Amino acid sequence: MEKRTDKNSYTIIFAIGMVLVVGTLLAYASSSLKDRITTNRELEKQQNILYAMGINENDESNAIFVSTQEAPKLFTEYIKKQLVIQGDKITEDNEAYLIDVKKEQTNAKAGKERRLPLFIGEKEGITYYIAPIRGKGLWDAIWAYIAMDENMVVQGAFFDHKGETAGLGANINKRFFMDDFIGEDLMSNGKFVGIKVAKGNADPLNIDKTDNEVDAIAGSTITGDGVSAMLRNELRLYVPYFENLKNN
Amino acid sequence: MGLLSKKDANLILDPLADNNPITIQVLGICSALAITAELKASLVMAISVIFVMGVGNVVISLMRNIIPSKIRIIVQLIVVATLVIIVDLVLKAFAYELSKTLSVFVGLIITNCIIMGRFEAFALANGTWRSFLDGIGNALGYGVILIIVGFFRELLGSGTLFGIPVLGDPIAKTGLYATGYENNGFMIMPPMALIVVGIIIWVQRSRNKALIED
């Protein structure tokens, strides 16, 4: 005799029921947790921006953010201005840090003018210009917050990724990689060249700060190339702003 | 194990050695290669899989009499995917830092063939408690291999364990590096995970001849 569960009608009803139950469950979980998740993401952005300008709780070897409780307070304290650059137009916007870089990149592809956020921070008399950028790694998105001085010399960098290989490409958010960028010049002889994540640059301690190169991580060639491309393509867009800054 | 009958205890102990999902059944190799370059990632993955397999096996076992056999694989996939996504959402809301560490593994857990294999081979035909033990046992067996592979790859490849240098500083040439020792960059490449797993399989079979296939 055919079992009850083998009937086509039962199978279809079961499938529909399962989809309904699972769908409702996931939709409920997602919508009820949405607010918290959004807040966490915003706090993370603030922590990242602060990290890039050197406001963090780093111990000897690990990258540690300021706590989520402290982040909003420190953010308003240290970030003096949030700018949105759109062509020649520069506007101030206190929620510029919420601009979705990914969306802006898609808009730019569709022919719309891209909004470039830039955060101006001040710490101990030094001004930091912090740009959020985004690119592609091996598996998924990578992004960074790069703090520069007015000559486009990197003062601090924070890298992160969505799904790079653990132990290899995922190490771009470790200090031994990020700290190498501090002091590196994005310009060479007055021209923007970016910073290359280079294999075999024979400078593992990164003593030469003017070679526009940092030492790559072994086993993560494609992630490293992604970082180089991201720095080159994205920070280039900020060059006109810095040139204006000098001329004024 | 006074708590468990001998038969139940075997559900946990068998997959740890003589019926190990990785070394004997050769399942779950993809994730074993992908994430064992460092010990911490191996440990996180092992814990995640223990959780998902324990709960997943129980859910499938509870549903075993009502799942239509024609679409059972799809049902299993949905169960494991739902579990993983809910856990991911809850972590994102309440333990954001942890969720960032785990995000890489979410996809890998859903497609882990050990999970599907145990649903199919055990949970669909056995009671809830036994399915739970079977799930935990197999996940432990998987985790043990992951941790062994991760230990050797991180130690020989990067000279660290859990990110802490244990052999000295390779650039300043201190500790073991002063004698001319070098990290083996090959160890952090995925193919070396396969070779380490191969060595474990070899050692295991040379100690227990009954495991050798014809």
- Asked if A5's CB is within 8 angstroms of B103's CB, the reply is no
Residue among B46, B27, B21, B26 nearest B36 (CA): B46
Interface of B with A (CB under 8 A): 34-38, 41, 65-71, 74-75, 78, 82, 85-86, 89-90, 92-94, 96, 103-104, 107, 153-154, 158, 163, 171, 185, 188-189
The answer to the question of residue B13 being in a domain is: no
Radius of gyration from C-alpha coordinates of chain B:
19
Split into its structural domains, chain B has a count of: 1
pLDDT tier at B3 (50, 70, 90 boundaries)?
A: low
- Coil, strand, or helix at residue A120? strand
The answer to the question of residue B177 being in a domain is: yes
In tens digits, what is the pLDDT along chain A, a chain of 248 residues? 567 778 889 999 999 999 999 999 999 999 999 999 999 999 999 999 999 999 998 887 788 888 888 899 999 999 999 999 988 888 998 888 899 999 999 999 998 888 999 999 999 989 999 999 999 999 899 999 999 999 999 999 999 998 888 778 888 999 989 999 999 999 988 899 999 998 877 777 778 888 889 989 888 899 999 999 999 999 999 999 999 888 87
Residue whose structure tokens are 């060059």 = A239
Q: How many CB atoms lie within 10 A of CB B179?
A: 8
Write out chain A residues lying below 8 Å of B93, CB-based.
33, 36-37, 40
Stated pTM of the model = 0.76
Write out chain B residues lying below 8 Å of A29, CB-based.
85-86, 89-90
Residues 6+ apart with CB under 8 A from A184: A153, A154, A195, A206, A209, A212, A214
The answer to the question of residue B164 being in a domain is: yes
- Asked if B89's CB is within 8 angstroms of A166's CB, the reply is no
* Helical packing angle, B39-62 and B128-158, nearest 10°: 170
- Asked if A25's CB is within 8 angstroms of B82's CB, the reply is yes
Residues 6+ apart with CB under 8 A from B128: B58, B61, B62
The answer to the question of residue B210 being in a domain is: no
Q: Which uninterrupted H or E stretch holds B101?
A: helix B96-110
- What residue numbers bound the domain in which B79 lies? 21-205
Residue among B154, B167, B158 nearest B193 (CA): B154
ipTM > 0.85, yes or no: no
The answer to the question of residue B4 being in a domain is: no
